[in-house]
Structure 1
Amino acid sequence: MAESVEYFKKHKPYSGLKIVHNNHLTLSSICKLAPLLLSGASLTITVTDSLQASPDVIEILHEHGVNITKINDLKDDFDILLDCGAGLANIVHPRIGAIEQTQSGKVIFEKQNRYPVISVDESYVKKLETLYGTGDGFKRAFNCLVKEDLAGKKFVVFGYGKVGHGIVRELKKMQCSPIIIIEMDNEALNRARLENFQALSINEDLGSIKKHLKEAFCVITATGVPGVVSKYFSRQDISDGYKVNMGTEDEFGENFLAEDVLANKKPLNFILEEPTLVEFLDPIFYAHNAAIDLLLTKKFAAGFHSLPLDFDLNILLRWSKFHKTDVSEIYQFI
């Protein structure tokens, strides 16, 4: 994003454009807004109800003469829509196109064909956040609350998609052992077994799973399925050890009290001031902003489009080089 600030400040590439930006307002998001504010565009910033809006960030923006527009005050008069969760999909109809950041927004925008929509979610760049960033956030939050040496402790992890993989990656670094992975997807089960984990099918191995749950130091959910644990297990089936939800919604479900689960069933990394460090958000912020250039320079038909692969890989490899990080494991998630 630092590169964008300098370039936008000098060249004002979006002069004459009307852009509306609907996204979380956190300390990290200031990095995303800075280049847009210097781009020469007429920028309107708003936050729909489902998004985070830090009062401190709003105050910082106000101190610099940047106001937040209420949804009801928006006029449908924009060239570009930068959206998160498709919060403005039924309110703003951009003349040039929209860029969506999330999976939930993708589901909504896929149904419209009035203008081009580019999805940042369906990209390798997005996996930097879900695979590395969320795993790192789990580690930092868990270590804040649990002041114990985790080496040799037994963890049971429900879900071995991108988020689960990232969490297990951090558990391995902390020498947690054994790590038991619970899945219903055969591809994920096979991948876990190839990586030398004990992986059990929730559809076939309930007896073995219950034994591991009784012995677990910690049980973690990262399936993306609300209430999945209660569908198969009772409160008595799981040890009194730590329980962690890393899903957006409560994955333990109705059989478990809020106080049974760290952070009262909310995603554990949300207890942190920075749930995801800016180094993992930076490439996504960059892609979300820079996709404006794609809408301006390439001819996209009305309807839904993934981020072009060459554009996506260019950002990923630049991030990998800058942070000296091997990102090869990301390629198995697409």
Structure 2
Amino acid sequence: MPILRSIEERFIAEKPFKGLNVALSIHLEAKTAYLCKVLASGGANMFITGSNPLSTQDDVAAALVDDGLNVFAWYNCTADEYRMHMTKVIESGPNIIIDDGGDLVNLIHQEYPEKISAVIGGCEETTTGIIRLKAMEKDGCLKFPMIAVNNANCKYLFDNRYGTGQSVWDGINRTTNLIVAGKVVVVAGYGWCGKGVAMRAAGMGGHVVITEIDPIKAMEAVMDGFKVMKMTEAAKIGDIFVTVTGCADVIGKESYKNMKDGAIMCNAGHFNVEVNLPELEEMAVEIKEQRKNCMGYKLKNGKWLNVLAEGRLVNLAAGDGHPAEIMDMSFAIQALSAEHLVKNKGSYDNTVIDVPKHIDQQVALKKLEVWEIEIDKLTETQEKYLNSWNLE
């Protein structure tokens, strides 16, 4: 992760977070651990938890503790334990919050309002978290500025598309050990994550079907060469289903009734609500583990439907998450955005704000440098041309 490494070198010298408490909730695996160490190198007192019960890697969490950081997380924690971990992090009295899905921000607003005055601001990693933040902003209850890291070009164009596209199939393939070629792959949602999942499915020989609620995204999918139909219709022909919407109840009982025997469902959205498990459990006459991270549900009609990783993020709950080269960019934006908030304390309203353009550009240029790629620069004449309305 050379971009983060270069930031770490500067942080060691400048200590931008000296004396500040940073609360972080992101999938706790090796790449996240390095982000935590980079922030700590800048003087931050780190208070860390995971953002999903099945994505925490215990050896990584233990290694961070050995390095003197405060970690509250373990693999496969219960709902009560997960909440306890979040609570411990918030009780630290954070000055900066780095969130993934909005759980920390939600908790401090609802249950720890006395801690809010110390918060300079925060950063949000995911589409789902930004949806929640925008709702808070709309209702007038967001009490500190939050930078929408997910919306940075160097995040969603690469992390969401190429990172999700690769890591989702890594999780599916290592869990099922089945071939993709020749199968019908139904991808629910054609945002940047869905685009990546669909692209990789097609690349492995799958016949891709997209389900959407947005007419423009549906048109994109058609022009990218994919079939588009409603989920209840796609359910009749799908072999593998991947939900990537950020919404709830994307696949439910009406779809289950139509599915093939042996159909496989998984989720790549943040929360485990896209595949409606309570409805599937209610319909099932038998439930058993088919293999690790794969639960089978037998319906009255005799068909077995399979759900990977309890409907949680399949790329992390059944895999290792995005490749390090991808997370190097995303986490560099996190680190630089957190630093920006500290340097500009009090300059922003309590709204969801964009990542400053210079941070996006800085990360992109550093990535090109790592790849040993040089690009052109505008000449003075070209600058003048692009900034002129009179072209005579």
Q: C-alpha distance in 1, partners of 2:319/2:38?
A: 23
Per the alignment, do residues 218 and 113 of structure 1 end up closer, same or farther by CA in structure 2, a change over 3 Å counting? closer
Aligned to 1:311: 359
Aligned to 2:266: 245
Q: C-alpha distance in 2, partners of 1:289/1:122?
A: 15
Name the SS for the 1:87 alignment partner: helix
Counterpart pick for 1:59 among 46, 59, 62: 62
Q: Do 1:86 and 1:104's aligned partners in 2 also have CA atoms closer than 8 Å?
A: no
Deviations 1:183-204 (A, max 9, x none): 22211110011112222255xx
> One-letter code of the match for 1:193?
V
Counterpart pick for 1:180 among 186, 203, 209: 209
Does residue 284 in structure 1 map to residue 321 in structure 2?
Answer: no
Deviations 1:270-316 (A, max 9, x none): 34351222322222221111113322444632211221234224424
Aligned to 1:224: 246
Counterpart pick for 2:348 among 301, 306, 309: 301
TM-score normalized with structure 1 length: 0.79
Counterpart pick for 1:80 among 88, 93, 96: 96
Q: C-alpha distance in 2, partners of 1:48/1:42?
A: 18
Q: Do 2:23 and 2:90's aligned partners in 1 also have CA atoms closer than 8 Å?
A: no
Q: C-alpha distance in 1, partners of 2:173/2:89?
A: 43
**Aligned ranges 1:67-106 → 2 under 5 Å:** 67-68=70-71, 71-72=87-88, 79-84=95-100, 85-88=102-105, 89-90=108-109, 91=112, 92-93=115-116, 95=118, 97-101=120-124, 102-106=126-130
Aligned to 1:194: 223
Q: C-alpha distance in 2, partners of 1:53/1:18?
A: 25
Deviates further, 262-271 or 48-57: 48-57
Q: Do 2:49 and 2:89's aligned partners in 1 also have CA atoms closer than 8 Å?
A: no
**Aligned ranges 1:1-334 → 2 under 5 Å:** 1-15=4-18, 17-24=19-26, 25-39=28-42, 41-47=43-49, 53-68=56-71, 71-72=87-88, 79-84=95-100, 85-88=102-105, 89-90=108-109, 91=112, 92-93=115-116, 95=118, 97-101=120-124, 102-106=126-130, 107-108=132-133, 110=137, 111-112=140-141, 114-127=143-156, 128-176=158-206, 178-201=207-230, 209=233, 213-230=235-252, 232-235=254-257, 237-246=258-267, 247=269, 248-253=271-276, 254-255=279-280, 259=296, 260-263=305-308, 264-298=310-344, 300-304=347-351, 305-316=353-364, 318-319=366-367, 322=370
Per the alignment, do residues 266 and 37 of structure 1 end up closer, same or farther by CA in structure 2, a change over 3 Å counting? closer
Deviates further, 5-14 or 110-119: 110-119
Structure 1 residues not aligned, in runs of 5+: 326-334
Name the SS for the 1:36 alignment partner: helix
Per the alignment, do residues 18 and 148 of structure 1 end up closer, same or farther by CA in structure 2, a change over 3 Å counting? closer
Deviations 1:70-105 (A, max 9, x none): 745866755434344251533332557212224454
> In the TM superposition, what is the alpha-carbon distance from 1:165 to its structure 2 partner?
1.0
Q: Do 2:120 and 2:342's aligned partners in 1 also have CA atoms closer than 8 Å?
A: no
Q: C-alpha distance in 1, partners of 2:360/2:192?
A: 18
Deviations 1:224-273 (A, max 9, x none): 332222264243x1112432222332433214655222324333223435
Deviations 1:115-149 (A, max 9, x none): 43322133223313222212111111222133344
Per the alignment, do residues 140 and 78 of structure 1 end up closer, same or farther by CA in structure 2, a change over 3 Å counting? closer
Aligned to 1:331: none
Q: C-alpha distance in 1, partners of 2:51/2:334?
A: 20
Structure 2 residues not aligned, in runs of 5+: 73-84, 285-294, 297-304, 374-392
Aligned to 1:329: none
Name the SS for the 1:65 alignment partner: coil
Q: Do 2:45 and 2:69's aligned partners in 1 also have CA atoms closer than 8 Å?
A: no
Aligned to 2:381: none
TM-score normalized with structure 2 length: 0.69
Q: C-alpha distance in 2, partners of 1:22/1:313?
A: 25
Per the alignment, do residues 195 and 323 of structure 1 end up closer, same or farther by CA in structure 2, a change over 3 Å counting? farther
Per the alignment, do residues 73 and 150 of structure 1 end up closer, same or farther by CA in structure 2, a change over 3 Å counting? closer
Q: C-alpha distance in 2, partners of 1:42/1:7?
A: 14
